[in-house]
Structure 1
Amino acid sequence: MSGDQPAPDRILQLIFGYWATGILGTAASHSLFTHLEHGVDTADRLADRAGISVRGAQALLDGLVGLELIEVRDGSYRNTAEASAFLVDGLPTSLSPFAVLKMGHMGSLAGLPDAVRAGGPATVATVEVADNPHWEGLVQAIAAQSVPVAAIAAGLLGLAGAGEISILDVGGGSGVYSGIWLGLNPLARATQLDWAPINSIARRLLTARGVADRFTTVDGDLHTADLGTGAYDLAVYSHIAHQEGAEANTAVFARLRSALRPGGTLVINDYIVDDDRGGPPFALTFAGEMLLKSKQGATWRRADYAAWLAKAGFDDVTFHPTPSPATLVFAR
């Protein structure tokens, strides 16, 4: 088509979007990006190294070139800078485990029309229970998304030189914030509140980081657990708000305000949409995920956070965009 006539290309790309999930997840499951990073650069060699068919290796390579995740020149393949940074196994920022995880979730999208009709999941969201075995894979797979954001927050707050500080991480999952911040500040101590199965994962991971001697866990539910009074200099609420409704977020923020010492800071990390709901694209799209998988969650506006935090007693609230899809919020 030419002139002002619209073309169907972008719509077709969206319709076939699940192929991107499948190709990326499958390539990650066979460590193709890692092999490419180590110089295994042809379909034949990749097939041999990964233990897959040559035909299968070529199909994945073609798809990854189409997705602009790898490049080909004279029959030799290599990762793009983006793939080298975020898809090679073993890197703290590797999203490959998350790609594999999300490939396994594709079938759940068939329930989205019913969720849209009903205003939520057709059945009770089993994700929101302590004994769900998926936590073992999930909390580690999503940790990589928070690694750069936690480092950015540490820099903005000057944590490396903050001395003896006490940190509370509510719903801390893998303990990624505590791990990074304790590594930067040898005088800091951190406490994580989360369900027992998740805390056990965090303790194991922070032991591997060498900071477990300054890391404490409290088993409990963030909605009901006692957070204490005036005990912490910093509190973290990362990727929790989008799972909760307005009343629940306001209530937790009020309890976190009480848990902080005078002058303490609440750090929120989440996918936040503009007040007019015009962007950003990732946060807007993620709203469907929350409709399908949570009871009251959504991707909330900046105005929502500002109102909840003001009601909870915070009078200094700032928003900080990051290179990731998430936004940092500091409240004092």
Structure 2
Amino acid sequence: MGPEMSPDISEVSPDLAVDVMFACRKTAALKAAIELDLFTLIGDGGTAASLAAAAKASERGVRVLCDYLVVNGFLIKEADTYRLTPSSRTFLVRHSPAYIGGAIEFVAAPEMLSLHLDDPAACVRNGGALGLANISADNPVWVKFARAVGPLVAPSAMALAAEVATWPRKPRKVLDIAAGHGLFGLEIAKTFPEAEIVAVDWGAVLELASQNARQFGVGGRYRTIPGSAFEVDWGSDYDLILLPNFLHHFDIETCAGLLEKCRNTLAPEGRVVGVEFVPNEDRVSPPFPASFAWEMLATTPRGEAYTERELAEMARRAGFADATTKPLPPTPASLVFFE
């Protein structure tokens, strides 16, 4: 028997556990900074006094907030002056083309946080959220989603349109299921001037999607059908059916039923493309897709972050031959082709 192996005590630390216990404080601080437009006000630099005056806030409050943001990597402090990091300048300054700060209104919405924090052990015991949670009909949280997360998904929407642009057959009739903000269908409409988009989602959400369509200059080619994708008659002969960030809300059987409905309403040679966070078969990598399973456990009754093998299984149940995935770096999302 060899020598007894003892743990390296230098690697034994409570730091990770303590950091996670306090993690919601980081969310709160970032939410405060975004609501005060602090990153935009800092610009090329500012002191607590100057920033407090600009934000119409307490100097003490701004100082404590800015110091906390320095500790957590969002700001740099030089003497009494706070400056932006390159990432904060790119993603958290309001007039930046890559601004994503608005997403906090959905990610940290009270109804979202309550699903995660009120009784997470109950979700584990139950194998999913108690009740319908985020998949309840006309849930107002999806209006917040449509307003807030467009900048987060815009790269994926543009990448999907670029992928479709490589196909030999260009889509003319497109269905966007659970359209939300509408960006996936709208990027297709921008890329293909002859394409007509039909969007399905809850009525209040579609009002925002229609506003976005007008802003994109494609309102005349954008039609909406309010209601549940599982229940509405959305027509047929679609060259392309989009399923962006939708299947993960439901179990495999439910997804297979929806995919069969999609297959039955395709035009000859039509295609169905989803956008999903697809973990590897080990279910612990890559980090964001693997972590997304917890998001679904807390916010849906039976949702899941599906592996490519599971997506292929639901495809076959729906009558497709297979499902294949294509990562969309630098985003954590993947395209899913049901063929």
Q: TM-score, normalised by structure 2?
A: 0.88
Per-residue deviation, 1:248: 0.9
Structure 2 residue 316 is the aligned partner of structure 1 residue 310: yes
Partner residue, 2:129:
121
C-alpha distance in 2, partners of 1:237/1:183?
A: 18
Amino acid at match of 2:139: N
- SS where residue 325 of structure 2 aligns? strand
Structure 1 residue 261 displacement after superposition? 2.2
Structure 1 residues 164 and 317: alpha-carbon distance in aligned structure 2, compared to 1, 3 A threshold = closer
Query: Which deviates more from structure 2 when the two are superposed, residues 304-313 or residues 99-108?
Result: 99-108
Q: Which residue of 1 aligns with 2:273?
A: 267
3-state SS, counterpart of residue 275 of structure 1: coil
Q: Cα–Cα, structure 1 residues 238 and 115, in superposed 2: closer, same or farther, change >3 Å?
A: same
Aligned partner of 1:280 among 271, 276, 286: 286
Instruction: Give secondary structure in 2 for the equivalent of 1:64.
Output: helix
The equivalent of 1:224 in structure 2 is: 231
Q: Is the 1:227–1:256 contact (alpha carbons within 8 Å) kept by the matching residues of 2?
A: no
Q: Kindly provide the amino acid, as one letter, of the partner of residue 81 in structure 2.
A: S
CA distance 1:130–1:94, shift in 2 (3 Å): farther
Q: Which amino acid aligns with 1:95?
A: I
Distance 1:234 1:216, change over 3 A: same
Measured after TM superposition, the shift of residue 292 of structure 1 is 2.0
Amino acid at match of 2:149: I
Question: Which amino acid in 1 is paired with 2:89?
Answer: S
Per-residue Cα deviation, 1:123-156 (whole angstroms, up to 9, x for no partner): x235323433333322221222210001111222
Over the matched positions of the two proteins, sequence identity in percent amounts to: 28
In structure 1, distance between residues paired with 2:204 and 2:83: 39
Displacement after TM superposition at 1:3 (Å): 6.2
How far, CA to CA, are the matches of 1:55 and 1:160 in structure 2? Answer: 58
Query: 1:158 offset after TM fit, Å?
Result: 1.4
Aligned counterpart for 1:298 among listed residues 304, 308, 331: 304
Residue 226 of structure 1 and its aligned partner are, at CA, apart by: 2.3
Structure 2 stretches lacking a partner, 5+ long: 1-6
Instruction: Give the counterpart of 1:258 among 244, 249, 264.
Output: 264
Report the RMSD for the aligned CA atoms in angstroms: 2.5
CA shift for structure 1 position 91: 5.4
8 Å contact from structure 2 (residues 160, 184) kept in 1: no
SS at match of 1:58: helix
2:312·2:322 contact (CA, 8 Å) conserved in 1? no
The alignment partner of 1:313 has SS state of: coil
Please give the TM-score of this superposition, normalised by the length of structure 1. 0.89
1:303–1:160 Cα change, 3 Å:
closer
State the shift of 1:197 in Å.
Answer: 1.5
Structural mapping, 1:88-167, within 5 Å? 88-89=93-94, 93-103=98-108, 104=110, 105-108=112-115, 109-122=117-130, 124-158=131-165, 165-167=172-174
Extract unaligned runs of 5+ from structure 1.
none
* Residue of structure 2 equivalent to 1:82: 87
Output the CA distance in 2 between the equivalents of 1:107 and 1:55.
30
**Deviation larger for 153-162 or 247-256:** 153-162
Aligned with residue 193 of structure 2, among 186, 189, 200: 186
Aligned partners of 2:320, 2:167: CA distance in 1, in Å?
25
Task: Give 1:121 shift.
Answer: 2.7
